[in-house]
Amino acid sequence: MLSFSSRYARWLPILAGAALIFIILDLQHLRKVGTGLFKAEPLEVIIEPDHNSIKPSNQTVQPDHKIPASASACRPLPGIEDVLVIVKTGITEALDKIPVHVRTTLRCIPNVLIVSDFEEEIDGIRTHDVFRNMSNSVRENKEFGLYNRARNHGRAGLTEQDFVKVANSAAGMGDNPGWALDKWKFLPMVVEARNYHPTAKWYFVLEADTYPFWSNLLVWLENFDSSKKWYLGNQMMISGDVFAHGGSGFALSNGAINAVADEYTKRMDAWHDRTMASWAGDCMLGIALLEIGISLTWSWPHVTGQSVWDQDAVNEAYGERPWCHAPVTFHHMTPTDIEMMYKFETEWFSDKNHSHLLYSDVFSRVVHPRLADRLDDWDNKAGTELIKEGDEEAKWTLSECAEACAQDTKCIQYSIDEAGTCKTSDLILRGVPSPGVTAGTMMWRVDSKVHSLGECENPEWVIPT
């Protein structure tokens, strides 16, 4: 029989009680495994799906991340519970781009689905393998090389080539393995989203470098009946096919996502053949929607393919002027941009007088303070190249380029590079760092333009008439 000295005997009741509590808590934990954030996974058995048998799931949605326990940490977002937010990403970018959303834009969103080409946990949120129900015959395609390596070896299966940045072209970035794989995600993504939350009124898709304004999105969606078939996005065209640009973010109503998910599951082989022959998955989704009678509702400038630094707020395009419209997204936003915009938006909506945010507000508070008469090693994206009269190869000096802009009453910005190439623009953009480029802005013309546009009495919305 074990014996203890009198020195330790007095601790026995305390230690016994602690051990009993530990056993009880551990048993409670085991009963809960599989229902919370970190789910216990059963042994995986891969079964080839019947292309005609994928049906909506009736199970209750289990959020893949935790909303902050303190209700005061989240401002009210009436209607957000009816929206499934879908973030599309991939293994080569997820670790860089998802964490900032977890701590900012997704913090207070109850229904989030992260679709990727690799399943993993990132900062407490789970990514879903969007290809998990796709047939092996499709996954044997060479464009699934990255996916198959990651599936078999995890992140250890990645190569340096997977992370190489390639130049974007009129046909995308086909030389990048992740980009080539991405086009396959759009159609299976709608099935994953429908099965994940079949009763959502809206499904809003964005990419990991897209910044969303939830308050503006919810007010905008109030203008549409979610029981009808709506497809809302930034209009793009490839060979006559009009579709919503994926990077800009787009919305599908419950009726629309059910219709296109059914179409895809009925004719998977045909859609896979067409996807193989295409280079843009967002275009394929748009084609599928149109073929079942759901056309795109053009939604620029609410959703845009430009970052906050590259989207002009004052000039008209597609018959709309952004100034008094409410932005819903900005694309090509870096993690630093997202942190900055989230801080600005949080402070903006902390004012009880602010129920919405307009392009004019973003310009006045975010863009305008960062403009300057001259910025070295900076490109403001001026796009009209000037040619010296009588000498097409003559170089410009900085003062000549600035004077040329000043003499043109429509010119607001100019830039000149080390080769002496002078460019001008009537847009007002912040732009991006660029070694060897000098950018200039006619600030008095900026202020005059802003003054002529005036204050926005009410937000303008792109809605069907």
The 10 Å Cβ neighbour count of residue 144 is: 20
Query: What pLDDT, on the 0 to 100 scale, is given for residue 37?
Result: 26
Domains of the chain: 71-298 (3.90.550), 371-453 (3.50.4.10)
% helix / strand / coil in the chain, to the nearest 5?
40, 15, 45
Rounded to whole angstroms, the Cα distance separating 461 from 224 reads 12
pLDDT at res. 389: 85
Query: In the numeric block, which tokens belong to residue 265?
Result: 């599951």
Instruction: Give the chain's radius of gyration (CA, Å).
Output: 26
* pLDDT for the residue numbered 406: 97
41: which residues sit within 8 A by CB, 6+ positions away? none
Taking the C-alpha atoms of residue 459 and residue 301, their distance in angstroms, rounded to an integer, is 12
Rounded CA-CA distance 147/117 in Å is 6
Cβ atoms of 90 and 181 within 8 Å: the answer is yes
pLDDT of 179: 81
pLDDT attached to residue 331: 98
Q: What is the pLDDT of residue 13?
A: 42
Residue reference for tokens 């060897």: 436
Q: Per DSSP, what are the bridge partners of residue 73?
A: none
Closest CA to 127 of 91, 154, 156: 91
* Ordered per-residue pLDDT tens for the chain, 465 residues: 333 333 334 333 434 444 443 333 443 433 333 322 223 233 232 323 333 333 444 444 566 777 765 555 888 999 999 999 999 999 999 999 999 999 999 999 999 999 999 999 999 999 999 999 888 889 988 899 899 999 989 898 888 777 777 555 455 555 677 888 999 999 999 999 999 999 999 999 999 999 999 999 999 999 999 999 999 999 999 999 999 999 999 999 999 999 999 999 999 999 999 999 998 999 999 999 999 999 999 999 999 999 999 999 999 999 999 999 999 999 999 999 999 999 999 999 988 778 889 999 999 999 999 999 999 999 999 999 999 987 878 999 999 999 999 999 999 999 999 999 999 999 999 999 999 999 999 999 999 999 999 999 889 999 887
The two counts, helices (H) then strands (E), for the chain are 15, 17
Nearest of 340, 339, 312, 347 to residue 327 by alpha carbon: 312
Q: What is the pLDDT of residue 17?
A: 46
pLDDT at res. 63:
66
**pLDDT at residue number 176:** 75
Report the pLDDT value the prediction gives residue 353, as an integer from 0 to 100: 74
Q: Give the phi and the psi of residue 304 in degrees, each rounded to 5.
A: -135, 150
Question: What pLDDT, on a 0 to 100 scale, did the predictor assign at position 54?
Answer: 38
Q: Cα separation of 138 and 151, whole Å?
A: 15
Helix (H, G, I), strand (E, B) or coil at 317: strand
- The confidence score (pLDDT) of residue 9 equals 40
